């Protein structure tokens, strides 16, 4: 019997590792605590349509990632997004065009991770709480007390603060991972029955509780009935208001949005708030991935590289590369 490799996390890092390992002929099995794949690239179904509450768009600066994006484009899962971009600075809104190519999942961000998952074996709604080694193989324990295994190796592809709790078998890795802090982001969606009278489609924001905002219908392949906007708070504001009730977060960010946009703003017909506890790594790190090949433990995620979609994908590739290298 082939003993598969366990991969914890079906965000883009875990899926990137899974695809590379499967392509090399290995059996894998994925686990995720959520009901679906995508992690911070997932889209939330709602009365206002599918909402990209996490990653908004991504750029491809690395040659290998650019090649993967090209393939996703050819398969119809991503398209270029060319928003009318603004900058808000010193109380002023101004056009802020640039030459940067920006990509989005089509018809929603989660289309990418859904396509990557394909028919790979996966167990959803399964929060792994312990990763432990028997005489020869690894086993996983979940929050409901169920045991999963045996596995020949384990790839942990989740945010650092969550990963550190699974690394009891590798204290050195655990202490490195425990040193990585991640910042929260409050995300709010506001949907209006009547479109706002503004040409703005995306905006980098300074001097406000808001960090970024985007008009969902400006992204390719969306067929929103309402004019839906996604607002992301800054890390600092999110940290300071971590436990604020969702209704109040919506009120605050709605108010900040009304202040910065130069048009009248009716009451939204639909609102939604989501708190990402581990949205982005604090500070930069360029480790690629972490591993203890003799033990058979690999750790990856956006926080090992740039804290962006591209970094997460590359980190998954690096974890797979190290694992395959060790098996040679």
Region from 30-38, 67-75, 173-181, 319-327 binding ligand FAD, contact rule CB under 6 A: 30-38
Q: Map tokens 């190796």 to a residue.
A: 153
Please say which residue, 242 or 263, places its beta carbon nearer to ligand FAD: 242
Check the annotation: does 52 bind a ligand.
no
Query: In a 10 Å sphere around its CB, with 0-12 CB exposed, 13-18 middle and 19+ buried, how is residue 139 labelled?
Result: middle
| 3-state SS assignment for residue 165 | helix
Q: Map tokens 């590359």 to a residue.
A: 314
Minimum Å gap between C-beta 282 and ligand NAI is 11
CA distance readout (Å), 248 to 63, 143, 186, 242, 290: 43, 32, 12, 11, 39
C-alpha 204/C-alpha 98 separation (Å) is 12
Minimum Å gap between C-beta 197 and ligand FAD is 26
C-alpha 313/C-alpha 290 separation (Å) is 14
C-alpha 281/C-alpha 303 separation (Å) is 5
Q: Does 84 bind ligand NAI (CB under 6 A)?
A: no
Check the annotation: does 55 bind a ligand.
no
Q: Does 44 bind ligand NAI (CB under 6 A)?
A: no
Q: Does 58 bind ligand NAI (CB under 6 A)?
A: yes
C-alpha 209/C-alpha 296 separation (Å) is 43
Region from 25-33, 64-72, 239-247, 318-326 binding ligand FAD, contact rule CB under 6 A: 25-33
Q: Does 185 bind ligand NAI (CB under 6 A)?
A: yes
DSSP state of 285: -
Check the annotation: does 239 bind a ligand.
no
Which of ligand NAI, ligand FAD, none does 9 bind, CB closer than 5 to 8 A by kind?
ligand FAD
Please say which residue, 108 or 322, places its beta carbon nearer to ligand NAI: 108
C-alpha 27/C-alpha 153 separation (Å) is 11
Alpha helices in 85-234 (DSSP H): 111-117, 160-163, 171-178
**Residues shown for the chain:** 328
C-alpha 130/C-alpha 220 separation (Å) is 41
Q: Does 12 bind ligand FAD (CB under 6 A)?
A: yes
C-alpha 241/C-alpha 239 separation (Å) is 5
Minimum Å gap between C-beta 96 and ligand FAD is 16
Minimum Å gap between C-beta 313 and ligand NAI is 12
| From 308, 324, 326, 327, residue interacting with ligand NAI (rule: CB under 6 A) | 308
Task: Build a one-symbol-per-residue string for 254-293: x at contacts with ligand NAI by CB under 6 A, - elsewhere.
Answer: -------------------------xx-------------
Check the annotation: does 147 bind a ligand.
no
Q: In what order do the strands lie in the sheet with 154-156?
A: 122-123, 28-31, 5-8, 154-156, 297-299, 290-292
Q: Does 98 bind ligand NAI (CB under 6 A)?
A: yes
CA distance readout (Å), 120 to 27, 106, 110, 123, 309: 9, 21, 16, 10, 21
Q: Does 204 bind ligand NAI (CB under 6 A)?
A: yes
Task: Build a one-symbol-per-residue string for 125-154: x at contacts with ligand FAD by CB under 6 A, - elsewhere.
Answer: --xx--------------------------
Q: Does 184 bind ligand FAD (CB under 6 A)?
A: no
Give contact residues for ligand FAD (rule: CB under 6 A): 8-14, 31-34, 39-41, 54-58, 127-128, 157-159, 162, 185, 187, 232, 276, 279, 301-302, 307-309, 312
């Amino acid at each position: 019997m082939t003993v598969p490799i366990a991969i914890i996390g079906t965000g883009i890092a875990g899926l990137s590792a899974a695809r590379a390992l499967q392509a090399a002929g290995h059996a894998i099995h994925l686990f995720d605590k959520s009901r679906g794949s995508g992690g911070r690239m997932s889209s939330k179904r709602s009365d206002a349509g599918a909402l990209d509450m996490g990653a908004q768009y991504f750029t491809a600066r690395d040659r290998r990632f650019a090649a993967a994006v090209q393939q996703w484009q050819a398969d119809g899962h991503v398209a270029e997004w060319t928003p009318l971009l603004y900058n808000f600075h010193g109380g002023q809104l101004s056009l802020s065009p640039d030459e940067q190519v920006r990509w989005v999942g089509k018809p929603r961000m989660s289309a990418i991770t859904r396509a990557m998952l394909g028919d790979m074996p996966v167990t959803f709604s399964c929060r792994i709480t312990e990763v432990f080694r028997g005489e020869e193989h690894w086993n996983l324990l979940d929050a409901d007390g169920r045991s999963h295994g045996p596995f020949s190796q384990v790839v942990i592809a989740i945010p650092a603060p969550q990963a550190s709790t699974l690394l009891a078998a590798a204290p050195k890795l655990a202490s490195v991972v425990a040193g990585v802090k991640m910042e929260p982001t409050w995300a709010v969606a506001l949907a209006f029955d009547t479109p706002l009278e503004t040409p703005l489609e995306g905006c980098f924001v300074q001097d406000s509780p808001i960090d970024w905002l985007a008009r969902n219908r400006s992204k390719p392949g969306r067929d929103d009935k309402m004019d839906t906007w996604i607002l992301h708070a800054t890390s600092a504001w999110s940290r300071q208001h971590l436990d604020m009730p969702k209704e109040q977060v919506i009120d605050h960010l709605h108010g900040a949005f009304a202040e910065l946009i130069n048009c009248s703003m009716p009451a939204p017909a639909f609102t939604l708030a989501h708190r990402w506890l581990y949205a982005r790594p604090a500070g930069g790190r360029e480790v690629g991935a972490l591993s203890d090949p003799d033990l058979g433990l690999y750790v990856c995620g956006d926080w090992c590289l740039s804290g962006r979609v591209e970094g997460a994908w590359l980190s998954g590739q690096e974890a797979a590369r190290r694992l395959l290298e060790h098996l040679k």
